[in-house]
A and B are shown apart, each in its own frame.
Chain A
């Protein structure tokens, strides 16, 4: 290679003097399978408030539902001689007029509030998803009918209907759950419908039809899973809304009745103590509601960001 002296200077091996290196086989083994879920969790964990909220909420749920052995006093244990006292070492959250330990009361009341919130969210999400998916997928008649029904439920004054329904059907926790769910599915239905309207135009739906899938299969296997992000986000918001509505009802006296209590019920009982020495009876249930609703909303935020593939966080 005398014609290319600089090659020798750079010590570049030429084809003549250097045998080709053995061909390396392409190895696919270290390809990390990064599934949608793994990406999802990574994005979710980057949302600090959502992670803190999840931990706090799990803690609250754990404490409330293990009240039977965690609570410092037995349920409804009265100490009439003690009466209402402020927070102390014996009674962290104080006691009420009947001398009942408020921490214990809060744990048991939390069970009802949380259970109602979760149950309402689950039922209304299922109902809303079903209605929304049907309306979005089968346009025209079905859509018109279901969406006008949704509008109808949206325009009725919820609190008035709730009050009447509870007067008529009684105010057990189950009734309250069913009524709240019956009045809460519309928001999810609307969100799901709009999502499905756009997803059903995608080519993979056409491909599914071309491979012989039935309408039911397309809705259940393709459309709803592709909408799962907005559904879950709205479900968390529904939990918060249900807990708040239940407290409102209880506060107005339509909620669960003694001896069953909820945080809303406790607020209602302490209604008259604003600005008195017994104000702590108001603060603790209020604070519990605030924390839980905040947590749920933060989790909803985190889920929304985690489900959004365009999210840069």
Chain B
């Protein structure tokens, strides 16, 4: 494979808080290559969004960050504001979760998309700009763009706002598009449409997409590769098939076993549930962060004493951070489901 467009190396983000240090992201590394969709999944507070903010350099000042963020081999973390500005939006762009609050209420949608362009290209001809805006609205599937362009965000429906948001983020044809839960605020039908737009854009622009979500279904449908995060750490990475058909980590396995499936033949099985709550990021459990909830944990040694490293079992790009990955790999999600009584 060619060189990655975006590399994250040993990223660590901590927030000093009143109760102690919040370990939001703990030693996360991943690569994003051209023309692929990388899905980052995990529950709330697993560090997905903080990772994306760290890549964009948008973390609040009090955050303590270490590690590297490389864009085409060049480090962008810690760059001064006026240098990283030229990367934001132009090379690495972002789609936010809630398009209603992420669009400025006082400007028309057209003006905002135009602004995303003029931020990086001030000298652009007005007529060219207008055409480009209409083209972008058309590309993301806004009906009647000629009229919609002059409307305000509050006159758009939820799905259209998210499309407008996507149009804004791809305005400069970025190499990497980070979509932070782009479909969470939408209902399922609209969600499918927005995902379709994302896929279509990816086909057209060949940009890499980092899709952050807590929805395994979304990842299965769109992503090429997946990283599963838990308590600020990557617990398993691999291709979408590897993750969904041969999970090596108990957490991934548990997540898959908890999903209802439409193609499930048997109706007399109960879905699996992962016991307990996600841990506080102030007091991450020692050893493997997942061990208090893990059915396979052998305590104290090694699960609660030693942090498992990401390691490959078979395929070199399929990594899991579990001491007993070999045993877990033999199991399938269905094995966790129990008979309904």
A residues sitting closer than 8 Å to B (CB atoms) are 26, 28-29, 31, 33-36, 202-204, 206-215, 217, 221-222, 225-226, 228
Contact = CB atoms under 8 A, between A and B. Distances in A.
Contacts of A210: 56, 58, 88-89, 93-94, 96
B104 A204 contact: yes
Interface in B55-91: 56, 58, 81-82, 85-90
Given A204-B104, A228-B106, 20 more contacts: A28-B147, A28-B148, A33-B150, A34-B155, A35-B152, A36-B106, A203-B98, A203-B101, A204-B103, A207-B96, A207-B103, A207-B165, A209-B88, A210-B94, A211-B89, A211-B115, A212-B90, A215-B81, A217-B119, A222-B104
Nearest to B154: A36
Contact of B96 (A35, A203, A212, A226): A203
A208 B86 contact: no
Contacts of B104: 204, 208, 222, 225-226
A229 to B, nearest CB: 10
Given A204-B101, A204-B102, A211 B93 contact: yes
Interface string B88-124: 1110011010100111111110000001100110000
A206 B115 CA distance: 14
Given A204-B101, A225-B106, A226-B105, A211 B119 contact: yes
Given A28-B147, A203-B98, A211-B89, A33 B155 contact: yes
A103 B333 CA distance: 93
B51 interface: no
A8 to B, nearest CB: 36
B151 interface: yes
Contacts of A225: 104, 106-107
Contact of B86 (A34, A212, A217, A226): A212
B105 to A, nearest CB: 7
A134 B94 CA distance: 26
B94 A207 contact: yes
A226 B104 CA distance: 8
B221 interface: no
Interface of B: 56, 58, 81-82, 85-90, 93-94, 96, 98, 101-108, 115-116, 119-120, 143-144, 147-148, 150-152, 155, 165, 168-169
Among B86, B96, B104: residue with most chain A CB under 10 A: B104
B279 to A, nearest CB: 27
A222 B135 CA distance: 25
A309 to B, nearest CB: 9
Among A26, A206, A214, A225: residue with most chain B CB under 10 A: A206
A209 B87 CA distance: 11
A33 B155 CA distance: 8
A32 B208 CA distance: 39
A215 B81 CA distance: 9
Contacts of B165: 207
A231 B155 CA distance: 25
B204 to A, nearest CB: 20
The 4 tightest CB contacts between A and B, nearest first, are A212-B89, A211-B89, A212-B88, A203-B101
A36 B152 contact: yes
A207 B143 CA distance: 24
Nearest to A139: B61
Nearest to B56: A210
Contacts of B143: 26, 28
Given A204-B101, A206-B102, A207-B102, A214 B85 contact: yes
Given A33-B151, A211-B89, A212-B87, A206 B119 contact: no
Nearest to A140: B61
A203 B168 CA distance: 14
Contacts of B94: 207, 210-211
Contacts of B85: 212-214
14 contacts: A29-B144, A29-B147, A34-B155, A203-B101, A204-B105, A206-B96, A210-B58, A210-B94, A211-B94, A211-B115, A211-B116, A212-B120, A222-B104, A226-B105
Nearest to B85: A212
A163 B299 CA distance: 82
Contacts of B102: 203-204, 206-207
B51 to A, nearest CB: 14
A88 B230 CA distance: 90
A211 B101 contact: no
